[in-house]
Amino acid sequence: MPLKSYSKTKLEKFKKSIQGRLDDVAHEMDDIKDTLDTNTRGNSGMAQDAVYSLHMADAGTDSYEREKGFHFMNRETDYHKSLTKALERISDGSFGICGICDELIPEERMMEVPNATKCVQCKEKEKLNLA
């Protein structure tokens, strides 16, 4: 375990923030799921016999909207998983420590991006393929 870490009070602050975000993401996922259910249940375009009664552009739009909804659901699910992993890092003591340089990630970054595992410098190097 690294010598540097956040205090217990700061970790509690991070934990509360993450749990709030998890609640927000869960509500967002429920809304997306309800929208997907409504669009597929009440849509005559989903019935095989009704496909020919719709205009092709309408069917394409419906398909695009469903696909977009599934994309948003996948994105929210991934974010939920990364926030859950951040809570696990709080428990095991590795929260807020850069996975590359082992330095403490600034508190401002951790408040904005609580699922961050790299400091800004290491993340930039990674994006530029310098790491």
Inter-residue contact 83 to 21 (CB < 8 Å): yes
Is residue 48 assigned to a domain?
Answer: yes
Assigned domain for 117 exists:
no
Closest CA to 79 of 30, 15, 22, 35: 22
For the chain, the domain total comes to: 1
Global pTM?
Answer: 0.78
In a domain, 119, yes or no: no
What per-residue confidence (pLDDT) applies to 41? 57
What pLDDT is attached to residue 40?
Answer: 64
Q: Is residue 53 part of a domain?
A: yes
Domain carrying residue 47: 8-95
pLDDT of res. 110: 95
pLDDT along the chain (131 residues), means of 10: 77 96 95 83 50 70 88 96 96 93 94 94 89 55
Instruction: Give the CB-side neighbour count of residue 14, counting CA atoms within 13 A.
Output: 32
Note the pLDDT of residue 131.
55
**Would 85 be classed as within a structural domain?**
yes
Q: Is residue 45 part of a domain?
A: yes
